[in-house]
Amino acid sequence: MVKLILTSIAFFASSAILLADTAMNTTKPAGAPAACAADGAKSACGLPSNVVIDMSKASVKHTDAEWQSLLTPLQYEVTRLQGTEPSFRNTYWDNHEDGVYFSACSDTPLFDSRDKFDSGTGWPSFTKPIEPLFVAVQTDSSFGMVRSEVHCTTDGAHLGHVFDDGPAPTGLRYCINSASLRFMPRKQYDAWVAAHSAPAVSK
C-alpha cells in the first residue's frame, strides 16, 4: 500500500514538472499555441519582468512618489515595477474599436489598432509598434527564461514582451499589458496628430 502511494506521488510530481517546463517554454513548436496561452499566470507573458531600464535618454521623468500619484495602483505596478496584469481580465484585450494606443505614462503613441490581432492569450497583441524608436527591446532573463522585454523609450514604462510567434507580415507578437496603455479613438487621434504637427513654413 505504501509503495503504491509513493509511486503515485512520484507520478504526479513528474507530471507537475513537465507541465511547468511546458508553460515556461517561450519557443513555439510547429502548430503549438502562443507562448502566453499556456496556463495563464505561469506563462511567459503572465510573469513579471526584472530588467534595468535605461532612463538616461527618457524625456518624461518623475520621482517614484510622483508616478504613484499620477497612475492608478495597477498602472504603477505594471509600468514602474514591471508587473503583469491578469489575462482576460484587463481593459483592452478584447477591444475592437479603431484607434491608437498611447503609453499610460506619457503622450506617446505606441500601437495602432490596425496592427492588433486576437492571439488567444488574453492580453492585447500587436504585430508591430507605430514607431520602432518609441519601443525598446531588452533581454529579460528572469524566472529561468530568456524573454524580450519591451518598454516605452519616452518614459521608461514597462509594456510587456515581444515573441516571434506572431502572424504575417512581421511574424512578431507584442504581448502588451492594458495597464501600460491609453486608448484614443481614430477621430480623436487624427485631431491630436493635426494639433501636434509642425506648422507649414510659408514661402
> CA-CA distance, 61 to 39, in Å (whole number)?
36
Catalytic residue among 36, 105, 152, 175: 175
- C-alpha distances out from residue 171 to 24, 28, 34, 54, 89, Å: 21, 12, 12, 27, 26
Quick one: 101 exposed, middle or buried, by C-beta within 10 A (0-12, 13-18, 19+)? Answer: buried
Give catalytic status of residue 36 as yes or no: no
> CA-CA distance, 71 to 90, in Å (whole number)?
16
> CA-CA distance, 177 to 87, in Å (whole number)?
9
Q: Are 72 and 166 in contact (CB under 8 A)?
A: no
Residue type, 137: V
Please give the positions annotated as active site: 175
